[in-house]
């Protein structure tokens, strides 16, 4: 990941720049359009029990979600034990190392053949489309933008391309608002929120979930998220951003699971 020290700009609030996305709910509701994409994806034969991750080092790291595909000694859901059903439903996707999630990735990286793994991917594919072909997800968690902070003007159109490709393949993109402000004016979160509204797709406000943490859940570099263990019953866990990253992801996936189950049940009745 590219290191950019934010200084005082990271401490400013979105309201200082006239931004409006900060009041979006942490866990989104799914619109009729989102349900339509899911239904089309299931009809196309995509795996309803699979999701893919698109992102940078905070997405590709082993302490983001991976423990949930391991034995339960590696994690503790604490008071959120009800989320075990989500883990069981999407088993196999948590630990997966996505071809479209790597350290240093920007939105452009997911669209660049420079980052292709030709041991598994075809020469006419992108990291994004290779991941989709091999894992065949019904939905995609997209958490990008930190490494676009050095050149925010190109971010929105690259993210738009990722969304277009994803929807064209009948897979539901779910966008995440990032915790940092490396671009110094929160414009990237605004772009993410604007695209979510334009395409009528879910956006989860991870930024809001960590605002009460020390340094808003960021390490001293103003970029990387703080982390501890994946034991939700341990109080110190909740002092770190990755606890909220993992929890809110599971809660988003719970919403996704509910919508998928409804579609599958309706198909059985038809």
- The pTM of this model reads 0.92
Banded pLDDT at 149 (limits 50, 70, 90)? confident
Tokens of 225: 């998220």
Q: Where are the domains of the chain?
A: 26-269
Q: Does the pLDDT value for residue 151 go beyond 90?
A: no
What pLDDT does residue 51 have?
A: 98
What pLDDT does residue 176 have?
A: 98
Four-CA torsion 104, 110, 113, 118, nearest 10 degrees = 90
What pLDDT does residue 3 have?
A: 37
Banded pLDDT at 270 (limits 50, 70, 90)? low
d(CA 78, CA 234) in angstroms, rounded, equals: 8
Mean local confidence (pLDDT), 43-53: 98
Q: Does the pLDDT value for residue 11 go beyond 70?
A: no
Higher-scoring residue by pLDDT: 165, 118: 165
Q: Does the pLDDT value for residue 268 go beyond 60?
A: yes
What pLDDT does residue 19 have?
A: 61
Q: How many CB atoms lie within 10 A of CB 117?
A: 14
d(CA 139, CA 50) in angstroms, rounded, equals: 7
What pLDDT does residue 126 have?
A: 96
What pLDDT does residue 267 have?
A: 84
Average pLDDT, the chain: 91
Q: Which fold has domain 26-269?
A: Rossmann fold (3.40.50)
Higher-scoring residue by pLDDT: 108, 153: 108
155-172 in b/e burial notation, b at 16+ Cβ within 10 A?
bbebbebbbebbbebbbb
d(CA 249, CA 252) in angstroms, rounded, equals: 5
What percent of the chain shows pLDDT beyond 90?
83
User: pLDDT per residue over 239-258, tens digit each?
Assistant: 999 999 999 999 999 999 99
Banded pLDDT at 5 (limits 50, 70, 90)? very low
3-state secondary structure 23-75: HCCCCCCCCHHHHHHHHHHHHCCCEEEEEEEEECHHHHCCCCCHHHHCCHHHC
What pLDDT does residue 1 have?
A: 39
Radius of gyration of the chain from Cα atoms?
18
User: pLDDT per residue over 201-228, tens digit each?
Assistant: 999 999 999 999 999 999 999 999 999 9
What pLDDT does residue 123 have?
A: 92
Q: Does the pLDDT value for residue 18 go beyond 60?
A: no
Q: Does the pLDDT value for residue 33 go beyond 80?
A: yes
Q: Does the pLDDT value for residue 152 go beyond 90?
A: no
Tokens of 263: 């579609």
How distant, in Å, are the alpha carbons of 8, 27, 76, 85 from that of 107? 26, 23, 33, 32
How distant, in Å, are the alpha carbons of 91, 253, 259 from that of 22? 32, 21, 25
């Amino acid at each position: 990941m590219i290191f950019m020290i934010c200084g005082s700009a990271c401490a400013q609030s979105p309201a200082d720049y006239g931004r409006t996305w900060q009041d979006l709910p942490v866990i989104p509701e799914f619109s009729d359009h989102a349900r339509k994409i899911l239904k089309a994806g299931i009809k196309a034969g995509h795996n309803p029990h699979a999701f893919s991750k698109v992102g940078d080092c905070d997405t590709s790291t082993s302490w983001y979600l991976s423990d949930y595909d391991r034995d339960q000694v590696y994690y503790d859901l604490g008071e959120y034990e009800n989320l075990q059903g989500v883990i069981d439903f999407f088993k196999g996707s948590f630990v997966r190392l996505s071809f479209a999630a790597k350290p240093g990735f920007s939105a452009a990286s997911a669209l660049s053949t420079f980052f292709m793994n030709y041991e598994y991917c075809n020469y006419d594919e992108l990291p994004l489309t290779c991941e989709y072909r091999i894992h065949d997800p019904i939905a995609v968690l997209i958490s990008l933008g930190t490494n676009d902070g050095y050149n925010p003007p190109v971010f929105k159109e690259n993210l738009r391309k990722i969304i277009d490709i994803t929807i064209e393949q009948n897979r539901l993109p779910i966008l995440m608002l990032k915790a940092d402000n490396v671009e110094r004016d929160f414009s990237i979160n605004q772009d993410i929120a604007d695209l979510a509204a334009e395409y009528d797709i879910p956006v989860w406000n991870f930024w809001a979930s960590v605002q009460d943490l020390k340094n808003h859940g960021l390490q001293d570099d103003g970029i990387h998220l703080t982390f501890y263990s994946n034991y939700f019953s341990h109080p110190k866990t909740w002092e770190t951003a990755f606890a909220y990253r993992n929890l809110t992801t599971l809660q988003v996936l719970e919403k996704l699971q509910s919508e998928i189950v409804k579609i599958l049940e309706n198909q059985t009745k038809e």
